Structure 1
């Protein structure tokens, strides 16, 4: 049996801030948006160029703040120019860590945090 990862769901509180983060800081594109006002939630699906995995943003209208928890760690994306993306993220309003390398090696990644506290690991594309 073959399994294919197709989506990851993130629950978000401020849909406009979250869309700004994923579509303007990164190159994600809104694939579709479904609104369910009678049930008080929206679903927004984001495509990442070059990937078949979507991020499903679930926006519940009356939700209390979410606790990201300590079991979830991060999402990962790759970029062709790590240093340029790091500069872009550091110049943004989003919390951005320093460039790092595994075991003190050559810098190959950094973390940036989205408006809901989800950490995104940005890695150098191979």
Structure 2
């Protein structure tokens, strides 16, 4: 068994694909429209789905915005240098909401960025 993907609903698919590919450096792995259901699925990730967990971006054509709720926490991405990653994300228009630095009560260097729909992404320095 292995984790295949995490699905998040997005209000503007192209904007979200742009964030995950251009700002976070993932690849668009596949995208498919389902006209009868009025939705599109796009899968993004750092490697092929056969070997890596990915993110499924679900765009329901008639919904432009979602309430995120209080149950979901964040996605986490390992980075070589969290300080440098924050600078690069900011330069590409991404929103850093917690600058890189040691986590509270620990020594692991982390940072948080927010995607265009408000989902939090933790950067964890290797």
What is the TM-score normalised by the length of structure 1? 0.87
Aligned residues: 123
Q: CA deviation at 1:65?
A: 1.9
CA distance in 2, matches of 1:4, 1:115: 28
Counterpart residue number, 2:30? 32
CA distance in 2, matches of 1:6, 1:16: 22
- SS of 1:99's equivalent in the other structure is strand
* Cα pair 1:99 1:107 within 8 Å, conserved: no
Unaligned runs of 5+ in 2: none
* Cα pair 2:30 2:42 within 8 Å, conserved: yes
Unaligned runs of 5+ in 1: none
Q: Within 5 Å, which residues of 2 pair with 1:1-126?
A: 3-49=1-47, 52-96=52-96, 97-103=98-104, 106=107, 108-125=109-126
- Structure number with the higher strand fraction is 2
- SS of 1:13's equivalent in the other structure is coil
Q: CA deviation at 1:105?
A: 5.2
**Bigger mean CA deviation after superposition, 95-104 or 52-61:** 95-104
What is the TM-score normalised by the length of structure 2? 0.87
